[in-house]
Amino acid sequence: MLAPVIPIQDVLHRIQWDPAWRGRCFELGYLDRLAGTIVRVPAGDLHLDAGRPPALTLHDAAGSTVRIPLHRVRVVWRDGEVFWKRAGG
């Protein structure tokens, strides 16, 4: 079931703070510009960076910090099902 069209920031804040959403498994898919594919990562591995522009930060397997602008987030899965998808994407 897809959520109504709401900004990704609102989805991320609810994942982080809404007690009704605790215990659910969330994954985010972001566009890897170099590979041209969607990379799927557990939401718990990402941290919201309120900088300008807002972004997510991720520590990859090599220990490097990757900054993912929110406009590159394309899809959110909840318990394995698509929950949110960027309009037009």
What is the domain partition of the chain in residue ranges? 8-85
Nearest CA to 25 out of 77, 60, 75, 83 is that of 77
- Average pLDDT over every residue of 4-30: 89
Amino acid at site 60: D
Looking at residue 2, its pLDDT comes to 55
What would the two tokens of residue 35 be? 């590979």
- Identify the pLDDT of residue 52: 73
Q: What is the mean pLDDT of residues 14-32?
A: 91
What mean pLDDT comes out for the span 15-25? Answer: 89
* Strand order, beta sheet including 65-69: 46-49, 55-59, 65-69
pLDDT at position 48 is 84
Class of domain 8-85: mainly beta
Structure tokens at 85: 């998808």
Give the tens place of pLDDT for each residue, 31-72: 998 889 999 999 988 888 877 788 999 887 788 888 999 999
Judge whether residue 4 has pLDDT over 60.
no
